[in-house]
Amino acid sequence: MTPTEYNKCVDEHADLLFRYCVGLTGNQADADDLVQTAFRKLWENIHDLDVKVAKSWLFRTAYRSMIDEYRKVKREREYRNMQVENTTEFQSSFEERDLVCKALEILTEEQKNLILLRDYEGYSYQELCDITGMSMPVVKTTLFRCRKKLREKLLEMNYTKYNVE
């Protein structure tokens, strides 16, 4: 990959990676750190990577960085989110996007990774197997359980979009 191709990757994938990281972390500050880390590692391995695999490599690197580093401050993050939750509970209106992000919090990192890659980026099941290293039945079973948990959480929060009753 050339520097020109790297800058082209920034143009094409930076926003997608940022949304994916926002879904993973639940806040933009941590998502910003993950994006910076992923593109820094991409630049460090620019001579070893092909531009065709750059996108999946970026998402996989961001997820692993989140697993490696973000878990270290997981307790702090949970405490911070709890403080934010206590303040927002008194707000009169909730936007749908905030509800979805809140519902994602009940998922594990592995489940969030799969559902975000599937729904946000449109990866096929086979591509998800390649990225995550899981088998096909495990990917499908995990995604099915993710959707069930999300639906239950959103129904619990009276989110009308997914209210099927």
Partner 1 sequence: MKITIENYEAYALDYLEGSLGHQEEQDFQKFLEDHPEIHAELVGLDQMILTPDPHLKYPNKKSLYRKQKRGIIPLWNSPWMVAASIALILAITAVLFFKNPATTPTDLLSEYHSSSLEDNKLPATKPMPAELPETNVMAQQGNVPGQAEHTDDGSPALTLDPQLRNGTTPRTIVAPLTDGKTSDLAQKAPISHQSTPQEEDLNTDTEDFIASEAMDIRMMEPLAMLPVSIQPLHVPASPITFQTLGQNVEEESIQFEIHIPGKFLSETWTDVSLANIKSKLLPEFLYTRNNN
Interface with partner 1 by CB under 8 A: which residues? 2-3, 6-7, 10-11, 14-19, 22-23, 32, 35-36, 39, 43, 97, 100, 115-116, 119-120, 136-137, 140-141, 143-145, 147-148, 150-151, 161-162, 164
Give CA–CA dist 134/18, Å, rounded: 24
Q: Least CB distance from residue 77 to partner 1, whole Å?
A: 20
Contact 131/116 with Cβ under 8 angstroms? Answer: no
Which one, 2 or 88, has the nearer CB to partner 1?
2
Measured CA distances, 63 to 14, 46, 74, 82, 101 (Å): 14, 19, 15, 23, 17
Q: Least CB distance from residue 79 to partner 1, whole Å?
A: 25
* Exposure on the CB side of residue 88, measured as CA atoms within 13 A: 12
Q: Least CB distance from residue 101 to partner 1, whole Å?
A: 10
Which one, 14 or 157, has the nearer CB to partner 1?
14
Q: Least CB distance from residue 65 to partner 1, whole Å?
A: 15
Measured CA distances, 52 to 9, 15, 122 (Å): 10, 18, 16
Which one, 94 or 120, has the nearer CB to partner 1?
120
Q: Least CB distance from residue 130 to partner 1, whole Å?
A: 18
Contact 120/19 with Cβ under 8 angstroms? Answer: yes
Which one, 77 or 147, has the nearer CB to partner 1?
147
Selection from 7, 2, 111, 78 nearest residue 46 by Cα? 2
Which one, 90 or 108, has the nearer CB to partner 1?
108
Residues in the chain: 165
